[in-house]
Amino acid sequence: MKRSFALLSQFAIGVIFGLGLIISGMTNPQKILQFLDLAGSWDPSLIFVMLGGILVSLAAFYLARKRTEAWFGGLVEWPKSSPIDRHLVIGSLLFGIGWGVAGFCPGPAIVALGSGHVKALVFTCMMLIGMLIYQQLGSQIKNRLH
């Protein structure tokens, strides 16, 4: 019973997240590109989406930090802090370039698949191919960066 409730709750959270992405315009690559176009037809409305997400996350993390057990059982494990290094900077640059070129980041692209965006399909396929390449060559790439 607890497992079924956990799965149902996770599904509902995913649906709410997806609806939030759609309502906010995050699944529209043109809106994203206009937000990133500071020298042209800049659309600052996504700042409010980001601020809303940050505020909700801050509250959620504040409450979660006080817990020793996850909502649906299991130990709460927090990642250890790591310094800003070359890997993080290069990964962030690649993410930003992909976001700026395509107008998608992973979450909104997957949601946009449901509405038939061909660009979202291409982006998601390329993202998955990139993940597979990194999975196969990741250790070689890390060694070259050191």
- Determine contact, residues 120/109, Cβ cutoff 8 Å: yes
- The predicted-structure confidence for 105-122, as pLDDT tens digits, reads as follows 888 999 999 888 898 999
- Average of pLDDT values for 11-34? 89
Q: Looking at residue 55, what is its pLDDT?
A: 95
Q: CA 109, 91, 140, 142 torsion: positive or negative?
A: negative
- The predicted-structure confidence for 43-65, as pLDDT tens digits, reads as follows 898 899 889 989 999 998 898 88
- Give phi and psi for 99, each to the nearest 5: -65, -45
- Determine contact, residues 32/103, Cβ cutoff 8 Å: yes
Q: Indicate the SS3 state at residue 75.
A: strand
Q: Looking at residue 9, what is its pLDDT?
A: 86
Report the percentage of the chain scoring pLDDT > 90.
Answer: 16
Cα separation, 108 vs 28, whole angstroms? 8
Q: Taking 80 as the threshold, does the pLDDT of residue 71 lie above it?
A: no
Please state the pTM of the whole predicted model.
Answer: 0.71
